[in-house]
Amino acid sequence: MDAATGIISTIAGDGTDGFSGDGGLATLAEVNGPQSIAVDASGNVYFADENNLRVRRLTPAQIVKEGVANGATFQAGGVAPGEIVTSLQGPESVWVRLPR
């Protein structure tokens, strides 16, 4: 939402449930169950694409980049500090740790 105007704009998804769009414009992509969003210091937007089992990243130019999680079903086990999780089961939230 634009704080000055109050206008809410779509930043990702074309309104069709599905999976497509990596490498293309975010508003032309299909997503399936988008959940929470987080923004990093570089302006990249991350969101949980729950039913596609992915966390997807949008660049500041609103291009969908390959997700940071690959869509494979998560297998139980520990995650070491600094390790990137590459398998998820229905992600519902994301967060980004910003440098201090």
Kindly report, residue by residue over 14-50, the tens digit of the pLDDT: 999 999 988 899 999 999 999 888 888 888 888 888 8
Residue 97 neighbours by CB distance under 10 Å: 8
* 72: confidence class by pLDDT, cuts 50, 70, 90: low
Q: How far apart are CA 76 and CA 28, in angstroms?
A: 34
pLDDT of residue 99 exceeding 80 = no
Q: How far apart are CA 76 and CA 2, in angstroms?
A: 40
Query: What letter would DSSP give residue 69?
Result: S
Q: How far apart are CA 45 and CA 56, in angstroms?
A: 8
State the average pLDDT for the chain. 78
Q: How far apart are CA 85 and CA 94, in angstroms?
A: 12
> pLDDT digits over 45-71, tens only?
888 888 888 888 888 888 777 666 555
Give the amino acid at 39. V
